[in-house]
A and B are shown apart, each in its own frame.
Chain A
């Protein structure tokens, strides 16, 4: 007992951990997110287990498939952790700094190590609860056969190590960055740019392909685990080292300084080129529509100079890649290559439009400048329409590379492929406004710019993924009637874009009659144009209330 009394029990008290976990436990969204995560995980696993063979498959048919299921499930869970952990860790330190409570923690008897470790544990606890959710599913894969106990344990260890490592990286970013948004961006970019970072994945995923043969390199696993522990410790040490030094770092806007740097670079290059200035910023003052003036004259991505740079950054690679692919490879590879370029260009365009449209109101709200607009006599409709002037310009700019690609295809394939050109133009006319109004609607509802952008990207990503996965999954369940195929074609932009691309490559003589051929396209565009119209209507409906002020009676 005397030994126990001498123990420094005060050091075992974990105030930061207790406070964070208590806060987490008190929030309703904690349970909702966990439930939704579990639901998605179990439903997708159910589809995975039974999609190949159907629900009535016999034990003999399923025997030995556990290895494949195990590898897919593990990869899915790791992917999910890559999405979830940055969201969970970004605010751990950065939010304390933004609330100006970090300095109070540093002034307390807690050491930086204690703060960092407690913050780390407070984030890892819910993350590991997500991981534990998948354990029963991993055990089910074991019952299918093809997975050894050692592989099962190793898989779980890998999963836990990946979480611990990525979590430590997230805490490091949170300790370094001034704001939660910056920390979130840094964690995602870091995790994407350095796939080697998750050493567990690097060393064991190659082995995942051999789960069935039980040929797992234990040495590789030990090395991976060792590297994982080392990088986790390194990230936490860096976080501890910078914690006090960056306690007062303020949130400088990072884009304008970056653009000023690029400006200086361009000016230096222009000196060499003879000092020709094509687009000159002329000083001006607002006359009639002040918000439109600011969005198109003062905002970084609203001015012609910067929009031209955005255009060139997307257009040049597209214009180099498209002819290069057409000239170099076999026809089948050409088509796939062109589709990939088109897909990536669409993705960039939709992300840019989505992010900027989601930010138009939520950014004003985050920066606390919305109130001064709301007390002006401008109507809610005027405020929103003028705010969207910059997004409209951006939409026109990102549509140009897509249009170039489509015109190039039209020119390359056939001068008579008018249908291809018309359908492609319809994608531009429908998808971009649809994403714009969806993002504006979400931005109007969200309290901060960060949440608005994350939710918009998630909605776009989930819809795209659902549409991409729906037909293959339903086919596995033998739901493959032509009516279903047409229904999902009408719903799925990916299938429509892919199909339009095919119309440029297939001989017109082999196609069915025009009405039957184009009916799904027409239905698809009508559906998405209608959706865009409804979303727009919804944005302007009760706009004053959504913005946060008393509406003008009609």
Chain B
């Protein structure tokens, strides 16, 4: 289980020579994780570019957490290899721990500490400069909207706040890579939205994020890349649009027009890539093949056929449909 053989550089899948420039933030090649006779992860390979947001989807027991634990240096033994920022996780785990922040499914809070003490505890664990700690912690609490709770006991925080505190802890040492295992699990809608907004902000800041979740709709709003895992195997990996194209999925676009009419609806149906148009009052629900026409082009086409568009909102891709089509509900 300690096979570290594999391409020493370049593309993990073909062993091609390394291109100039920095390596991808995450590279996994032919990863196998076994628990006794159970093969939890079966030879998966993928990579995440710097600044990418990778959504890990799969039923319970598919191997998502095992894969994340490999990257978090918590899983041993395993076969194949896993690199973060070009460093194999087994070659220098302490360096890897400084490069990544991991939020496990259980946040890991000390009941006897306050929010301030909890963050100072981990600031000391990461040996951050003492002079900067207070300011850094204030900034992180502001980012996670917990500044007003700085002296509260962590046990007194709501589940959503505890999750945000976990995120603040993950960000303390300013890691390049965030590994988030079900960060929205068990949260109410408001808390989920808050977490999602923080993650969007982090993505804008250039952090590379690997996130596993069951809430597919949220992943589709956040991720640049998706990996669908089933029974330990990666059944799909790529951008959302790629799934859409491969499966021929439709994208739904909602539009509000100032000048609704039968004629406008008919003309909209004749636009290339449009499958169907439903009209209700001034609202149009347009189903399009996204590989045939991107949303921006559809807006232009609508305007060109005389629609005076007041509101235009493409819905995220139908990830749930993709998930159902690509998986059979098997577990490892």
* B315 within 8 A of partner (CB): no
Q: How far in angstroms is the closest Cβ of chain B from A25?
A: 20
Counting chain B CB atoms within 10 Å of each CB, the highest count among A293, A368, A375, A549 belongs to: A375
* B76 within 8 A of partner (CB): yes
Known: A253-B111, A369-B109. A287 touches B124 (CB 8 A): yes
Q: Which residue of A lies closest to B100 (CB)?
A: A375
Q: Which of A41-49, A98-106, A376-384 contacts B (4 or more CB under 8 A)?
A: A376-384
Cα A368 to Cα B105 with chains together (Å): 10
A545 surroundings in chain B (CB, below 8 A):
76
A373 surroundings in chain B (CB, below 8 A):
125
Cα A545 to Cα B90 with chains together (Å): 12
* A371 within 8 A of partner (CB): yes
Cα A58 to Cα B91 with chains together (Å): 71
B110 surroundings in chain A (CB, below 8 A):
294, 298, 369
Of the residues B89, B112, B117, contact of A299 by C-beta under 8 Å: B112
B108 touches A376 (CB 8 A): no
* B136 within 8 A of partner (CB): no
B74 touches A293 (CB 8 A): no
User: What per-residue 1/0 map shows which CB atoms of B174-185 lie under 8 Å from chain A?
Assistant: 000000000000
Of the residues A253, A293, A377, A550, contact of B90 by C-beta under 8 Å: A550
Of the residues B74, B107, B111, B120, contact of A375 by C-beta under 8 Å: B74
A294 surroundings in chain B (CB, below 8 A):
110, 112-113, 121
Cα A411 to Cα B242 with chains together (Å): 87
A293 touches B124 (CB 8 A): yes
* A149 within 8 A of partner (CB): no
Q: How far in angstroms is the closest Cβ of chain B from A11?
A: 35
Main secondary structure of the interface of B (DSSP, over half): loop
* A415 within 8 A of partner (CB): no
A369 surroundings in chain B (CB, below 8 A):
108-110
Q: How far in angstroms is the closest Cβ of chain B from A447?
A: 14
Q: Which residue of B lies closest to A376 (CB)?
A: B125
Interface size class of B (residues with CB under 8 A): 35 or more
Of the residues A298, A372, A549, contact of B73 by C-beta under 8 Å: A549
B50 surroundings in chain A (CB, below 8 A):
none
Q: How far in angstroms is the closest Cβ of chain B from A28?
A: 13
A285 touches B116 (CB 8 A): yes
Cα A256 to Cα B155 with chains together (Å): 13
Of the residues A371, A376, A550, A553, contact of B106 by C-beta under 8 Å: A371
* B97 within 8 A of partner (CB): yes
Q: How far in angstroms is the closest Cβ of chain B from A545?
A: 7
B122 surroundings in chain A (CB, below 8 A):
290, 372, 376
Q: How far in angstroms is the closest Cβ of chain A from B139?
A: 17
Cα A370 to Cα B112 with chains together (Å): 15
B76 touches A549 (CB 8 A): yes
* A8 within 8 A of partner (CB): no
Cα A131 to Cα B64 with chains together (Å): 47
Q: Which residue of B lies closest to A549 (CB)?
A: B74
Cα A372 to Cα B106 with chains together (Å): 10
Cα A136 to Cα B307 with chains together (Å): 95
Cα A291 to Cα B125 with chains together (Å): 8
User: What per-residue 1/0 map shows which CB atoms of B87-104 lie under 8 Å from chain A?
Assistant: 001111110011011101
Q: Which residue of A lies closest to B120 (CB)?
A: A285
Cα A288 to Cα B127 with chains together (Å): 7
* A374 within 8 A of partner (CB): yes
A374 surroundings in chain B (CB, below 8 A):
73-74
* A286 within 8 A of partner (CB): yes
CB neighbors of A among B118-143 (8 A)? 120-122, 124-127, 130
* B207 within 8 A of partner (CB): no
A550 touches B76 (CB 8 A): yes
A551 touches B93 (CB 8 A): yes
Counting chain B CB atoms within 10 Å of each CB, the highest count among A253, A286, A293, A550 belongs to: A550
Q: Which residue of A lies closest to B96 (CB)?
A: A550
B112 surroundings in chain A (CB, below 8 A):
256, 294, 298-299
Q: Which residue of B lies closest to A253 (CB)?
A: B111
Q: Which residue of B lies closest to A292 (CB)?
A: B124
Cα A369 to Cα B121 with chains together (Å): 13
Cα A444 to Cα B83 with chains together (Å): 29
B126 surroundings in chain A (CB, below 8 A):
376-377
Q: Which residue of B lies closest to A369 (CB)?
A: B108
CB neighbors of B among A250-289 (8 A)? 253, 256, 285-289
* B210 within 8 A of partner (CB): no
Of the residues B108, B124, B169, contact of A288 by C-beta under 8 Å: B124
B113 touches A377 (CB 8 A): no
Q: How far in angstroms is the closest Cβ of chain A from B97?
A: 5
B74 touches A378 (CB 8 A): no
Cα A548 to Cα B77 with chains together (Å): 10
B117 touches A285 (CB 8 A): yes
* B222 within 8 A of partner (CB): no
Cα A290 to Cα B128 with chains together (Å): 12
B125 touches A378 (CB 8 A): yes
* A552 within 8 A of partner (CB): yes
Cα A253 to Cα B108 with chains together (Å): 16
Q: Which residue of B lies closest to A291 (CB)?
A: B125
| Given A285-B116, A372-B169, A550-B73, 12 further pairs, Cβ under 8 A | A256-B112, A288-B124, A293-B121, A294-B113, A299-B112, A371-B102, A374-B73, A375-B97, A375-B101, A376-B125, A551-B93, A553-B92
Give B contacts to A, CB under 8 Å: 72-76, 89-94, 97-98, 100-102, 104, 106-113, 116-117, 120-122, 124-127, 130, 169
**Cross-chain pairs A/B with CB under 8 angstroms, 26 sampled:** A285-B116, A285-B117, A286-B117, A286-B121, A288-B124, A290-B120, A298-B113, A368-B108, A369-B108, A369-B109, A371-B74, A371-B108, A372-B104, A374-B73, A376-B122, A376-B125, A377-B126, A378-B125, A379-B94, A548-B74, A550-B74, A550-B76, A550-B93, A552-B92, A552-B93, A553-B92
Closest 3 CB pairs of A and B: A372-B108, A290-B124, A376-B125
